[in-house]
Amino acid sequence: MVAFPPTVSPVYVIGAGPGGLAAAHALRARGVRAVVLEKSDEVGASWRGHYDRLRLHTTRRLSALPGLPMPRRFGRWVARDDVVRYLEKYAEHHELEIVTGVEVSRVERAAEGDGWLLHASGGRELTGSAVVVATGFNHTPRIPGWPGMDGYDGHFLHAGAYRNAEPFAGQDVLVVGAGNTGAEIAVDLAEGGAARVRLAVRTVPHIVRRSVAGWAAQYNAILIRRLPVPLVDRAARAMARASVPDLAAQGLPRPDSGLLSRARQGAIPVLDVGLLDAVREGRVEVVAAVDGFEDGKAVLTDGTLLSPDAVIAATGYARGLESLVGHLDVLDGHGLPVAHGPRAPKNAPGLYFTGYTNPISGMFREMAIDAERIAKAVARRQRAAQGR
């Protein structure tokens, strides 16, 4: 283990997911002591809880964190369990200082100096020279306040609690939400023995082939990030016409707005892992959005009443940062950090956030880049504080 000067308070990293682990290694590589605080008993807790068939939609080579490639045996699209194995190996390989079973409830400015005070479980009060918040993009399940939902007597669950199709064999299932999670769960149900699968769609998503002739969609996403939005929207529209079937008759017309325009608003495209074929073949039926529940039935925005055996709400997550840092005036109206990566909020120097954007170029890739930049910013700040 590397010995760090005892006179310098550590940098505390909150969360032992990919963003937190990458940041901890990058800090350590620059000679900065980083202590990772993780509320669960293991690293990669959120990945352990994802549904069974999940794979990274980004390539293995472009999803590795700094300082350790992902093994080739994981294949091009890395499975959930292999992501967990990689995160475990990453922490071990880099000898990261991780304290599990510690939940940080509140971050405040330290009474003296420009450091930070962390209130944690067990009555702990920890003082750090800087803090990196990496509690994860998918933190708190978000369920719309549908009227009448309490009267639904079928099986209702958020997508975060879905594991596989086995409990739904032979059932009529309504999946609400056509993002990547909802689309993949609908396909999983259709392939796993559900009697009927319907996908409730409020806003028709852009659907992109994950790979065309071996060229991953992620490569395009990286190339287009800094191009003019109208140009990318036009190019994406032409590519969609060439590679994605017109499923308007099945309830999935081509979106009116452009792909990058949507992405800039936070709606990333759906990477196709079987949805297009499932819809075209009728194994997944597209229906209108859910408006509420009435007499135990789901009411759709077009007035249709459905009586599914189960409803799976793939309605996203909240970041859950309000109780942790909301009092510091560092969040916007949507609960997202006003600054991320190496840029600390102007009113909170030494406080960094990673993993709270959802870039089309791949979250793992961007967190790896953020980690290096955050470490550089922290090291520079510490040198300035020490007069060097």
Sheet of 172-176, strand order: 155-158, 310-313, 172-176, 196-201, 285-288
Whether 271 and 365 share a structural domain: no
Whether 235 and 147 share a structural domain: yes
- The helix/strand/coil state of 198 is strand
For residue 121, which of 135, 98, 100 has the smallest C-alpha distance? 100
In a domain, 5, yes or no: no
Whether 244 and 305 share a structural domain: yes
CATH code for the domain in which residue 164 is found: 3.50.50.60
Measured CA to CA, the distance from residue 223 to residue 362 in angstroms comes to 12
H-helix or E-strand spanning residue 125:
strand 124-128
Distances (CA, A) of 282 to 24, 186, 198, 249: 47, 12, 10, 11
pLDDT tens digits, the chain, 388 residues: what are they?
Answer: 455 555 468 999 999 999 999 999 999 999 999 999 999 999 999 999 999 999 999 999 999 999 999 999 999 999 999 999 999 999 999 999 999 999 999 999 998 777 999 999 999 999 999 999 999 988 889 999 999 999 999 999 999 999 999 999 999 999 999 999 999 999 999 999 999 999 999 999 999 999 998 999 999 999 988 899 999 999 999 999 999 999 999 999 999 999 999 998 888 899 999 999 999 999 999 999 999 999 999 999 999 999 999 999 999 998 999 999 999 999 999 999 999 999 999 999 999 999 998 888 999 999 999 999 999 999 999 888 776 5
Residue 298 · residue 308 · CB < 8 Å: yes
Q: Exposed, middle or buried: residue 6 (CB in 10 Å: 0-12, 13-18, 19+)?
A: exposed
Whether 305 and 326 share a structural domain: no
Whether 307 and 362 share a structural domain: no
Whether 148 and 295 share a structural domain: yes
Domain boundary residue, one of 289, 313, 337: 313
Whether 263 and 276 share a structural domain: yes
The secondary structure of 167-195 as a DSSP string is: GGTT-EEEEE--SHHHHHHHHHHHHTT-S
Whether 158 and 273 share a structural domain: yes
Whether 128 and 151 share a structural domain: no
Which tokens sit at 355?
Answer: 């993993």
Measured CA to CA, the distance from residue 100 to residue 45 in angstroms comes to 11
In a domain, 208, yes or no: yes
Domain boundary residue, one of 269, 289, 313: 313
- Domain hosting 126: range is 11-139+319-385
Distances (CA, A) of 262 to 236, 270, 290: 12, 12, 22
In a domain, 348, yes or no: yes
Measured CA to CA, the distance from residue 224 to residue 17 in angstroms comes to 28
Domain count, the chain: 2
In a domain, 4, yes or no: no
Whether 229 and 169 share a structural domain: yes
In a domain, 333, yes or no: yes
Domain boundary residue, one of 313, 330, 349: 313
**SS3 helix, strand, coil % of the chain, rounded to 5?**
30, 25, 45
